[in-house]
Amino acid sequence: MATNTQIPVADRRAPVIEPGHSFSTIGEKISNIVLKRPISLGWVFGFFVVFSLMNVLLLALGYLFLKGTGIWGITIPIGWGFAIINFVWWIGIGHAGTLISAILCLLRQSWRNSINRFAEAMTLFAVACAGIFPLAHTGRPWLAYWMFPYPNTMGYWPQFRSPLIWDVFAVSTYFTISLVFWFVGLIPDLATLRDRAEHPLTRGIYGILAMGWRGSARHWHRYETAYLLLAGLATPLVLSVHTVVSFDFAVSIVPGWHTTIFPPYFVAGAIYSGFAMVLCLAIPIRAIYGLEDFITMRHLENSGKVMLATGLIVGYGYGIEAFMGWYSGNTFDAFLLWNRLHGPYSAWYLGLIASNIVIPQLLWMKKFRTSTFWLWMISLVVLAGMWLERFIIIVVSLHRDFLNSSWGMYYPTKWDFMTFFGTIGMFLTAMWLFVRILPMVSISELRTLLPEAHVHEAAEVEK
């Protein structure tokens, strides 16, 4: 059956949907996870763990707001530490979601239909985690709203030349659009859940969320236009967001930050880490909830390929940085290069090279691309590597800049780590809830992948 589907490239490759599925089986299988499947002990235990981790975040932030950013390891000259590292890391992770749902949608990569839903969810949660840091890292968080342009009695306005203001606009826009995009995608599935729900309360809730969607042809028509346009808007947006984030560094004059290569290689790095996170989540989820039929090896392998490609772009970025350090003849850049290789943080730099450039080369081999275990391990390595990359860029550039007299060292404190791991807890908590209350695979989009969904020749016959 899979062989005679109308989808291109079904042959010889793992199919997007395993054979034997109909409109209702798809709807059933996916909605049952939400509606029927009993809450397992494993889920509860896992939730307890990640939720406690989230409370570590609350604790760390509470203490932070009480005492001030001095509880972190930051100092002069290293004014930015874990907070901004984590911010960039999370934002980067978010990018994969938008990329899958928007860019692959535009490129008519129909295989993305089965992973875009939770990829988008991942985006939202990641951006939410990222959003915590710019606020928390300010010395006076209770005044951070001053970064928004609003009329005030002081007659004061934001300073629009600052990349941080660009960040405010880019990130908030990104979050809003991602949220809208995600919700629009959810509407038909919410209708499905509404119609399948037995308990009146459940039906009521999904009913309200579905906003009375009834699958009218006119609605579908506008819906598809809107969805396509949103995809078209989200594509430049996602590219712009990490570009803007890279401007935080590229616009400054700090050696190691002041680089024109940053925008493209930040975007590539973002997608790199994003797909790593997608795999980290997809591999266990499909196993636990028996979604191997919908999230097939094809998806995993494709994600692996994307990682390989973006990883190589990132590697190129490092190469250019190093080359420029030598070629520019600028003593400060030259020293930066030396300092990365031989300075006090050289071990971190080598770790970065190993985990971002060397190890992912395994993905050239199908054996690794098609082994869930190896894919999962490599994704973890890449996630760590991308975090290291931000550490190198931020800390190692700042700790030895122009005046030798003002060089310093950065030692993160326990509060730094608590805040970081806390956000991971928050991210996972959100995921934990998501898989149980919303369809983690897009039902309606998945249905369109079934052969019966395609009516051209049928229509011809009629004419």
Size of residue set near other proteins by CB under 8 A: 119
Q: Is 294 in the site for other proteins (CB under 8 A)?
A: no
Q: Please pick, from the candidates 318, 335, 349, 391, the single residue that binds other proteins as defined by CB under 8 A.
A: 335
8 Å CB contact between 302 and 279: no
Q: Which is nearer to other proteins, 190 or 382 (CB)?
A: 190
Max CA distance (Å), the chain: 83
Nearest to 234 by CA among 93, 98, 90, 94: 98
Q: Which two tokens stand for residue 2?
A: 């899979």
**What contacts 456, CB < 8 A, 6 or more positions away?**
none
- Whole-angstrom CA distances from 311 to 263, 270, 315, 316, 454 are 15, 10, 6, 9, 37
Considering only residues 225 to 254 of the shown chain, the ones binding other proteins according to CB under 8 A are 225-226, 229-230, 233-234, 236-237, 240, 244, 247-248, 251-254
Q: Please pick, from the candidates 106, 323, 342, 364, the single residue that binds other proteins as defined by CB under 8 A.
A: 342
How near is the Cβ of 393 to other proteins at its closest, in Å?
A: 12
Q: Is 149 in the site for other proteins (CB under 8 A)?
A: yes
Contact stretch for other proteins (CB under 8 A) within 119-127, 275-283, 294-302, 404-412: 404-412
Q: Which is nearer to other proteins, 46 or 163 (CB)?
A: 163
Residue 348's Cβ-count burial label (10 Å; 0-12, 13-18, 19+) is: middle
Q: Is 266 in the site for other proteins (CB under 8 A)?
A: no
Nearest to 419 by CA among 96, 197, 134, 49: 134
Q: Is 62 in the site for other proteins (CB under 8 A)?
A: no
Q: How many CB atoms sit inside 10 A of residue 251's CB?
A: 16
Contact stretch for other proteins (CB under 8 A) within 53-61, 125-133, 362-370, 450-458: 450-458
Q: Is 436 in the site for other proteins (CB under 8 A)?
A: no
Q: Is 223 in the site for other proteins (CB under 8 A)?
A: yes
Q: Which is nearer to other proteins, 103 or 285 (CB)?
A: 103
Q: Please pick, from the candidates 36, 140, 366, 414, the single residue that binds other proteins as defined by CB under 8 A.
A: 140
Q: Which is nearer to other proteins, 203 or 305 (CB)?
A: 203
Q: Which is nearer to other proteins, 210 or 291 (CB)?
A: 210
**What contacts 399, CB < 8 A, 6 or more positions away?**
77, 78, 344, 345, 407, 408, 409, 410
Nearest to 433 by CA among 27, 93, 33, 92: 33
Q: Which is nearer to other proteins, 39 or 143 (CB)?
A: 143
Q: Is 177 in the site for other proteins (CB under 8 A)?
A: yes
Q: Please pick, from the candidates 3, 8, 160, 201, the single residue that binds other proteins as defined by CB under 8 A.
A: 160
Q: Is 138 in the site for other proteins (CB under 8 A)?
A: yes
Contact stretch for other proteins (CB under 8 A) within 74-82, 277-285, 305-313, 369-377: 74-82
- d(C-alpha 68, C-alpha 101), whole Å: 39
8 Å CB contact between 417 and 71: no
Q: Please pick, from the candidates 10, 35, 71, 205, the single residue that binds other proteins as defined by CB under 8 A.
A: 71
Q: Is 164 in the site for other proteins (CB under 8 A)?
A: yes
- d(C-alpha 242, C-alpha 248), whole Å: 10
Contact stretch for other proteins (CB under 8 A) within 9-17, 86-94, 152-160, 351-359: 152-160
The alpha-helical segments, DSSP class H, found in 328-442 are 331-342, 346-353, 366-369, 372-391, 397-399, 414-437
Q: Which is nearer to other proteins, 221 or 366 (CB)?
A: 221
Q: Which two tokens stand for residue 99?
A: 């990329």
Q: Is 321 in the site for other proteins (CB under 8 A)?
A: no
Residue 404's Cβ-count burial label (10 Å; 0-12, 13-18, 19+) is: exposed
Give the contact letters, 362-401, x = binds to other proteins (CB under 8 A), - = no: ------------------------------------x-xx
Q: Is 147 in the site for other proteins (CB under 8 A)?
A: yes
Q: DSSP of 34-71, one letter per residue?
A: HHTS---HHHHHHHHHHHHHHHHHHHHHHHHHHH-GGG
Q: How far apart are the first and last CA of the chain?
A: 27
Q: Is 4 in the site for other proteins (CB under 8 A)?
A: no
Q: Is 108 in the site for other proteins (CB under 8 A)?
A: no
Considering only residues 185 to 214 of the shown chain, the ones binding other proteins according to CB under 8 A are 187-188, 191-192, 194-196, 207-208, 211-214
Amino acid at the residue 433 = L
Q: Which is nearer to other proteins, 46 or 158 (CB)?
A: 158
Q: Is 23 in the site for other proteins (CB under 8 A)?
A: yes
- d(C-alpha 139, C-alpha 72), whole Å: 11
